[in-house]
Amino acid sequence: MSQLVFDPSKVMTIDYTQRTEYLDGLEAIKAAHKVLKEITYTPSLPDKGYTNRTLYVNVGSLEIKEKPVTQQMKDVFIGGRGFGLYHLWNAVKPTTRWNDPENEIIISPGPVSGITQYAGTGKSLVVSLSPQTEIPIDSNVGGFYGPLLKFSGFDALELQGKSDKDIILFIDGVKGIIRIEEAPTDPVDSHVLAEILTHMYAENEADLPNISVVSTGAAAEHSLIGMLNFSFYDRRRKCVRFKQAGRGGIGSVFRNKRIRALVVRGPKVAGDLNHPADPETIAKTGIKYHKEIRENDGSQCMMRRNGTAHIVEIMDAYDLLPVHNFQYGSHPDTHKIDSSYWQQRCTQHTVDGCWYGCSMACAKGADGLVLRTGPYKGDMVTVDGPEYENAAGLGSNCGVFDPDYLLELNFYCDTYGICTITYGTLTAFVMECYQRGILDKQRTGGLEMTWGNAEADLEMMHQMARGEGFGKIAGMGVKRMKEYFIRNGYGDPQLINDIGMENKGLEYSQYMSKESLAQQGGYALTNKGPQHDEAWLIFMDMVNKQLPTFEDKAEALYYFPLFRTWFGLNGFCKLPWNDVVPANNSSQPEAHKVPEHVQNYVDLFTATTGIQITKEDLIVQSAKVYNFQRVFNIRMGKGLRLHDAAPYRSLGPVTKEEYESRAERYDKQIVDEMGLDPKGKGTEEKMALHREWRTGRFSQLMDAVYTRRGWTLDGVPTLERLKELGLDAFPEVVEVVKQHL
């Protein structure tokens, strides 16, 4: 076991004051804005975490109104993702599609969001009907918009309708003004737009941190994979930075409504704005946690130094880093993009968080990047240094091990409004199709999509932003590309389906699940699609062997998705839960759950809202929302067992090369698990045995998980389960389920 040692002398010297500025056109852009609607309202701060009202804006009819937050909303849906799903359910019909006017985008921070005494408390959740999955998507995002929205007086923002012109919604939470403005000449891409809007709406320099902008970029207009950037003003660098609501194409919905940006101007953030019921407990819990970070982080994950990229080398060491479209789990060039590089490349002489008071401070700005391609070629920009998902998705999974190209891919994903996880997985799929002759230069319009060709990769992205060429086809995402390739007779349909890493229409995030049955379920048996924020069980299952039976795996796939759902109800970041642990954690029962931190969350919720809960109540709170979301999926014509099917690449080796790269392991499984002798059998015969065994046990896992969750074997929550959770109080929910029992 070797751990990286941080050497400050190796940190690159980068003069980020030479960053390109984009403020030249500000006055002309501002002059072109035209007020379409303006109302005044009375700003208010939360009481015990809630403002008790939400804001509804129809960007088509220009209707703006307040809605009350009812006790039932709080009891059943809590906030955040729960409020998003509640509003979306009421807004849409089973026939609604993502680009219909009634589809909504809901942003809600949750009751605990906005406190500054504990780490990771500035999150908000974004919910919409996804263009990729056609069911509700939820995306957990940092940046300042959510907390400032709440401190401006609203527990959620509902956006409905479609405008016929580009608009900006401005909420001034200090003066009590809500304004819809036509924005005919505003720039499109986020890094330019957000910088201009931040300066346009701030009253002076001291006001800059009180502004947050939600925006997307050019690619969101021409693809289904658009994401939203939530800005925060970095006082030290004096620049605007972003966190992303990435998954599921919410940025594409945003642009389809012709929203150019949301801007909030909130009050100056202070420690007591959330008006918690018990500020002493919050302060005490926070102090204890900050001490733990200070004392333990350096010998644990080094989140303050390396951020989430610290696991690049870990995943490589455990054969879990996706390489070449999830074919392999490690690569000899990984050291070029692991944290030993990023800790030199990203600025390390400053605390770097995305919300006030976060002592984990895992955001990592990479300054002084001079762009080599695209419309901003030659500009010097700051990009948030790659998170693990970006390094793995844009990097190893596509064979890109040049860190500056990786940063450039990351930058353009951000400014064009593209989800980096989705882009990484879809590009890896394109590259494997190219490798296997499913695609060629003619079909890609001249792009040579070989492993590691970052220039072709970037050109595909620029095409996506321009809405032309093969980039536009790629912007449909893996599911629709598979259908397109098969329809056009490009290759063997089974191979195309096997290697296209999507489930429910959403691309897989960046972990190898092939050797962990529990993680196969952790990805496929999710509500929104294969995103690791429900359950990450690879170590427990594959390395620790803590989950030997189907029932053990099902229990983990009951507990962890519910536990982690809870972060999104309340406005928490997941990272402070388990990327540092107390010094005595190893001597605690169920150390993998980090019991002291679970108790911290119970205490923080109670101290904020004044409502006493236990750690068991926490799971029940989540279960209400989780099961509601499952029924919502069913209401939209999905959400059944067949929709949880997984691509075979996520379950086992698709190709001979994959099998042979792990032949010893796979041959041993034929002996130990299947009771057969691999001797004398060819690779293809052994692959067929594996396919039968692996798909069979995945099916058995589904049975076990559905049973543990209180669902039928078709994946439908039973009436008993709904009653247990109090969801029988919603007749429409019961009605949906009854049709499937």
- Contact residues: other proteins, CB under 8 A: 1-3, 299-301, 308, 311, 313-315, 317-318, 388, 511, 532-533, 535-540, 543-546, 548, 574, 578-579, 581, 585-587, 591-592, 594
Q: Is the dihedral of CA 479, 480, 483, 486 positive or negative?
A: negative
Minimal distance, residue 535 CB to other proteins, in Å: 8
Distance of CA 41 to the CA centre of its chain: 33
Compare residues 155 and 533 and give the one whose CB is closer to other proteins: 533
Residues pairing with 105 in the sheet: 128, 159
Compare residues 14 and 501 and give the one whose CB is closer to other proteins: 501
Compare residues 559 and 693 and give the one whose CB is closer to other proteins: 559
Minimal distance, residue 406 CB to other proteins, in Å: 19
Minimal distance, residue 182 CB to other proteins, in Å: 43
The tokens of 169 are what? 């919604």
Compare residues 154 and 577 and give the one whose CB is closer to other proteins: 577
CA 732/CA 370 separation, integer angstroms: 54
Which residues have C-beta within 8 Å of that of residue 214, sequence separation ≥ 6? 107, 145, 228, 229, 230, 231, 254, 261, 262, 263
CA 508/CA 505 separation, integer angstroms: 10
Minimal distance, residue 548 CB to other proteins, in Å: 8
502, 647 contact by CB (below 8 A):
yes
Minimal distance, residue 592 CB to other proteins, in Å: 6
CA 149/CA 549 separation, integer angstroms: 46
Minimal distance, residue 394 CB to other proteins, in Å: 18
Compare residues 544 and 599 and give the one whose CB is closer to other proteins: 544
Compare residues 355 and 560 and give the one whose CB is closer to other proteins: 560
Compare residues 9 and 586 and give the one whose CB is closer to other proteins: 586
Minimal distance, residue 342 CB to other proteins, in Å: 16
Compare residues 163 and 343 and give the one whose CB is closer to other proteins: 343
Minimal distance, residue 564 CB to other proteins, in Å: 8
Q: How many CA atoms lie within 13 A of 422 on its CB side?
A: 34
CA 328/CA 336 separation, integer angstroms: 17
129, 123 contact by CB (below 8 A):
no
Minimal distance, residue 367 CB to other proteins, in Å: 27
One-letter amino acid identity for 708? R
Compare residues 47 and 333 and give the one whose CB is closer to other proteins: 333
Minimal distance, residue 324 CB to other proteins, in Å: 21
Compare residues 592 and 638 and give the one whose CB is closer to other proteins: 592
394, 386 contact by CB (below 8 A):
yes
226, 263 contact by CB (below 8 A):
no
311, 538 contact by CB (below 8 A):
no
Distance of CA 185 to the CA centre of its chain: 30
CA 196/CA 260 separation, integer angstroms: 13
CA 541/CA 552 separation, integer angstroms: 9
Minimal distance, residue 584 CB to other proteins, in Å: 10
Compare residues 61 and 299 and give the one whose CB is closer to other proteins: 299
Pairing verdict, β 365-370 and 259-265: unpaired
CA distance to 22, 146, 245, 498, 672, per residue, from 652 (Å): 49, 40, 30, 10, 17
Closest CA to 347 of 311, 396, 383, 312: 383
Q: Is 611 helix (H, G, I), strand (E, B) or coil?
A: coil
Across the beta sheet with 34-40, the strand order is 34-40, 177-182, 167-172, 259-265, 211-215, 228-234, 239-245
E strand residue ranges, 266-364: none
Compare residues 317 and 663 and give the one whose CB is closer to other proteins: 317
480, 294 contact by CB (below 8 A):
no
Which residues have C-beta within 8 Å of that of residue 276, sequence separation ≥ 6? 48, 49, 115, 282, 607, 608, 609
Minimal distance, residue 591 CB to other proteins, in Å: 5
Minimal distance, residue 103 CB to other proteins, in Å: 29
Compare residues 192 and 540 and give the one whose CB is closer to other proteins: 540
Minimal distance, residue 488 CB to other proteins, in Å: 37
Compare residues 230 and 567 and give the one whose CB is closer to other proteins: 567
Compare residues 182 and 533 and give the one whose CB is closer to other proteins: 533
Minimal distance, residue 493 CB to other proteins, in Å: 32
Main-chain phi, psi angles of 450, to 5 degrees = -85, 160
Length of the chain: 741
Q: What is the CA radius of gyration of the chain?
A: 24
